[in-house]
Chain A
């Protein structure tokens, strides 16, 4: 499964306006809410925050992957953005976050949800790639960088 098979160029936001965690999540939820696949943005936001309250999704190295399974969406959706300056996300390594990936799916698509989550996490653990993303000035560059990387990885991220 490629991230770029799911992520649409319009769902990339560079730079984001938010200066704190909740606002940043809301900003990406609002971005997805423009799509007809999101039936209930409020329910979606609440469910992402609920997941966040069990344990932060700031996985370290400036990356956060907030996510949820929610009846308010019709299919697996991904939105991404970059905040500058980095914001506090209560990350596990206490470092502020610059790249945020929001991943949502309907409750019954558990397998795809987990695979996509692990895929994003694996892709982003490559340090050089994170630095490339941080240099991108526009959403188009950001999207292109992800697409290039996934192609370069030959074996697609599964």
Chain B
């Protein structure tokens, strides 16, 4: 029955006229995305990154699967991949504060530059050892040298790995910082292979220049966009995410066009655009999270569709060997060389070495040689596929176990989610937060009159078992209450001391 249906759909896609042809294409993608969304929870429970499911679904949708979608336009793939990565990096930046970047700036920067070059070189050696040619080895090394923000966010955030904050921050920020280096390294290797001697020297000098321009451009656009968003009154709140999306696009392309790293720029724009007092904040967070997810899902589905399982078999052993050696030797060594001199604890260094999640970036980079029509480019694309799958599957599915085993779990429980959202279209001078009252916090069991809050602070609302409770002096705070309060920003430490951790996404 299913086979008949898919045959019908496949036939329809190639013979039907519009609008049916578009409709058929969209229904296939729509159903694939639906399956991916609905099964992500189950996959997470099994500890398998959702990314993998998407790849398999994509393959099922592809030429040799049920879907029969024929898609091998690499230029289009590059474009789609770039757009997806912009959305993912922007969202990653938006959820990271400048202060958080600062705490792990040096280790992340070292991993993103020296670490990438080292793991590229080591992987190239491994590939050479596996019998590939010099050029192929160099290309593979460069293409798979960076970890992937999409995969990292999907595993660390959606997978509910309660890792120590400093470590998860380092791994996330590394994955956002290191893409530019990998892009430039791949361009460099292609220039070497095509024997553009004059451009090789220039590319080497150019790497730091691109990083500096990208960083400066990204920060400037982020701060400018924040300023505009705070000052300008938009005619409707629905335009706020459109504005931030436009800022992300301008940031990437502006930096790219003036010889900067666009990926670094768009990430930093996200970092500097957000602030606790940003108008429309919780709405923006939500829209960009949705866009980030859609981008991830589309990209991995696309990758799955592009791969021909029959072709994969030809490179299966080589691909597997390189993937495993990258995970077990190249990545850990490169990480150790970067972090140990910074006196990073050995345990944490080993952990970062293990979590070398690959994903979208290598796949986008693998289209570079295809677009340059280099010999063996198809083979490289298929090998990259293996490397991505293995290096997402193993670290991704073991990360929770390894985190617990190595004792690297965070001391604190993850922040609970708010039950009620309060949105402000204008920046407010005071802060507004919601707290879930746990039995252990100081205010549990106290009456509001007992709280002795500063004069600039007050409890506004209590949500108890789905009921809204009016805060009066005699009201007693109970465990499980969601308490909404406003206070002066300077009093935040005192509020967290009394109320515990504030909830996520409640107010902004």
The interface of chain A, by Cβ under 8 A from chain B, is 21, 47, 50-57, 59-60, 65, 67-69, 90, 92, 94, 107, 110-111, 113-115, 117-118, 121-122
B450: interface (CB < 8 Å): yes
Sampled A-B contacts (10; CB under 8 Å): A53-B413, A54-B501, A56-B412, A59-B494, A60-B493, A94-B99, A110-B445, A114-B451, A117-B498, A118-B498
Please give, as numbers and ranges, the residues of chain A lying within 8 Å of B447 by CB-CB distance.
111
CA distance A118 to B451 in the complex (A): 9
- Which partner residue on chain A sits nearest B165 by CB separation? A90
| Distance of A129 Cα from B81 Cα, bound (Å) | 56
Docked-complex contact A113 and B442, CB < 8 angstroms:
yes
Question: Would you call B441 and A54 a contact (CB within 8 A)?
Answer: yes
The A-B contact count (CB < 8 A) is 77
When distances are taken between beta carbons in the complex, the residues of chain B under 8 Å from A50 are 440
Contact A118 B446, beta carbon cutoff 8 Å: no
Q: Which residues of A contact B38 (CB under 8 A)?
A: none
B411: which A residues are within 8 A, CB to CB? 21, 52-53, 56, 90
Q: Which of A55, A67, A94, A118 contacts B501 (CB 8 A)?
A: A55
Q: Which residues of A contact B442 (CB under 8 A)?
A: 51, 67, 69, 110, 113-114, 117
CB-nearest residue of chain B relative to A105?
Answer: B442
Q: How far is the CA of A117 from the CA of B495 in the complex (A)?
A: 11
Nearest CB on A from B179, distance (A): 26
Q: Is the CB of B445 within 8 A of A54?
A: no
Q: Distance in Å from the Cβ of B502 to the closest Cβ of chain A? A: 8
User: CA–CA, A115 to B413, complex, Å?
Assistant: 26
The 10 closest A-B pairs by CB, nearest first: A55-B501, A59-B493, A111-B450, A51-B440, A54-B500, A110-B446, A55-B500, A50-B440, A54-B438, A110-B445
Residues of the A chain whose Cβ atoms lie less than 8 Å from the Cβ of B488? none
* Nearest B residue (CB) for A64: B497
**B61 to A: closest C-beta gap in Å:** 44
Docked Cα-Cα span, A110 to B444, in Å, equals 8
Q: Which of the residues A53, A59, A69, A115 comes within 8 Å of B445, measured between beta carbons?
A: A69
- Measured in the bound complex, the distance between the Cα atoms of B441 and A56 in whole Å is 11
B348 CB → nearest A CB, Å: 13
Assess whether A47 is in contact with B450, with CB atoms less than 8 Å apart. no
Complex Cα gap A90–B447 (Å)? 30
Residues of the A chain whose Cβ atoms lie less than 8 Å from the Cβ of B311: none
- In the complex, the answer to whether B498 meets A47 with C-beta atoms within 8 Å is no
By a CB distance below 8 angstroms, the chain A residues around B441 are 51, 54
CB distance from A44 to the nearest CB of B (A): 12
Least Cβ distance of A79 to chain B in Å?
17
CB interface residues, B 437-479, toward A, < 8 Å: 438, 440-447, 450-452
Q: Report chain A residues within 8 Å CB of B444.
A: 69, 110
Cα A53 to Cα B451 in complex, Å, equals: 22
Question: Contacts of B445 on A, CB cut-off 8 Å?
Answer: 69, 107, 110
Nearest-Cβ distance from residue A86 to partner chain B, whole angstroms: 16
Q: Are A114 and B452 in contact (CB under 8 A)?
A: yes
Contacts of B451 in A (CB 8 A): 114
A-side contacts of B103, CB under 8 Å: 94
B421 interfacial contact with A, CB 8 Å: no
Residue in A53, A59, A114 whose beta carbon sits within 8 Å of that of B446 in the complex: A114
B417 within 8 A of A: no
Interfacial chain A residues near B443, Cβ < 8 Å? 110, 114
Complex partner residue of A118 from B165, B412, B452, CB under 8 angstroms: B452
Given contacts A21-B411, A50-B440, A107-B445, contact A115 B452 (CB under 8 A): yes
- Contact in complex: B438, A118 (CB < 8 Å): no
Q: A55-B501, A59-B496 are in contact. List 17 more A-B contacts (CB 8 A).
A: A50-B440, A51-B442, A51-B500, A53-B412, A53-B413, A54-B412, A54-B500, A55-B412, A55-B496, A65-B497, A67-B442, A107-B445, A110-B445, A111-B446, A114-B450, A114-B452, A117-B442
Known: A47-B440, A54-B441. A114 touches B498 (CB 8 A): yes
In the complex, residue of chain A having the shortest beta-carbon distance to the beta carbon of B449: A111
The residue of chain A having its C-beta at the shortest distance from the C-beta of B451 within the complex is A114
Cβ–Cβ contact A59 & B497, under 8 A: yes
Q: What's the least CB distance linking B166 to chain A, in Å?
A: 8
Nearest CB in chain B: distance from A122 CB, A: 8
Contacts of B440 in A (CB 8 A): 47, 50-51, 53-54, 68-69
Residue among A59, A69, A110 with max Cβ neighbours from chain B (10 Å): A110
- Nearest-Cβ distance from residue A88 to partner chain B, whole angstroms: 9
Judging by beta carbons under 8 Å apart, are B413 and A118 in contact?
A: no
Say which residue of A53, A90, A115, A121 sits within 8 Å of B497 (CB atoms).
A121
- Bound form: Cα–Cα A52–B501 in Å: 10
Q: Give the distance to chain B from A116, nearest Cβ to Cβ, in Å.
A: 10
Nearest Cβ on chain A to B404's Cβ, whole angstroms: 15
Instruction: Select A54's contact among B99, B413, B494, beta carbons within 8 Å.
Output: B413
Write the B425-444 contact mask toward A (1 if CB under 8 angstroms, else 0): 00000000000001011111
The 8 Å CB contact of B412, one of A59, A60, A90, A115, is A90
**Complex Cα spacing A146 to B451, Å:** 24
Mask: chain B, 396-420; 1 = CB below 8 Å from A; 0 = not: 0000000000000001110000000
A21: chain B residues at CB < 8 Å are 411
| Docked pose: A90 CA to B162 CA in angstroms | 14
What's the nearest-Cβ distance from chain B to residue A56, in Å?
Answer: 7
Query: Chain B 19-43 against A: per-residue CB contact (8 Å), 1 yes, 0 no?
Result: 0000000000000000000000000
Q: Which residues of A contact B500 (CB under 8 A)?
A: 51, 54-55
Contact string against A for B residues 479-508, beta-carbon threshold 8 Å, 1 for contact and 0 otherwise: 000000000000011101110110000000
B462 to chain A, nearest CB (A): 16
Say whether B493 contacts A121, CB under 8 Å: yes
Q: How far is the CB of A48 from chain B (nearest CB, A)?
A: 9
- Roughly how many angstroms separate A80 CA and B496 CA in the complex, as a whole number? 20
Query: Considering the chains assembled together, what is the distance between the CA atoms of A117 and B411 in angstroms?
Result: 22
Cβ contacts under 8 Å, B413 to chain A = 53-54
Contacts of A90 in B (CB 8 A): 165, 411-412
